[in-house]
Amino acid sequence: MKGGLGNIMKQAQAMQENMQKAQEELANIDVTGESGGGMVTLVMNCRHDVKSVSIDPELFADADDKEVLEDLVAAAINDAVRKVEKTSQDKMAGLTGGLSNPGMQMPF
């Protein structure tokens, strides 16, 4: 019985190390969120750090477009966040073998 517990502990430690490695890899994966047909784009890594924002100059032509611009920036951020979540889920699914335990929270 002792050997079985030792094996389980080794497997748990290996899984923890693999998850940490995957989190580090995710920090280096960038996704691009966009809105307004590409008029606003941003690059975000899978740690939710926004790395760059690009706004089409046409959006600055009319001062009345301030609200539109704000909405487009928010939409681009939301698009990137959804892509980050999908990328993270896909990456972690490989480590957990597709297991999903609603009570178990991943550390990311």
Q: What is the mean pLDDT of residues 62-89?
A: 85
Round to whole Å and give the CA distance between 91 and 94.
6
CB 22 within 8 A of CB 95: yes
Report the pLDDT value the prediction gives residue 99, as an integer from 0 to 100: 53
Per-residue pLDDT at 107: 52
Specify the residue for token string 């790395």. Answer: 51
Task: Kindly state the greatest CA–CA separation across the chain.
Answer: 74
Counting the structural domains of the chain, the total is: 1
- 3-class DSSP state for residue 4? helix
Please say whether the dihedral angle defined by the alpha carbons of residues 65, 71, 73 and 76, taken in this order, is positive or negative: negative
Q: The domain that contains 84 carries what CATH number? A: 3.30.1310.10
pLDDT in tens, 16-45: 888 888 888 888 899 999 999 999 999 988
DSSP category for residue 61: S
Q: Is pLDDT at 97 greater than 80 in this prediction?
A: no
Question: If you average pLDDT over every residue of the chain, what do you get?
Answer: 81
Single-letter amino acid, residue 87: T
Does 63 have pLDDT greater than 70?
Answer: no
Q: Is residue 43 part of a domain?
A: yes
Q: Evaluate whether residue 46 is within a structural domain.
A: yes
- Residue 83: inside a domain: yes
Residue 106 belongs to a domain: no
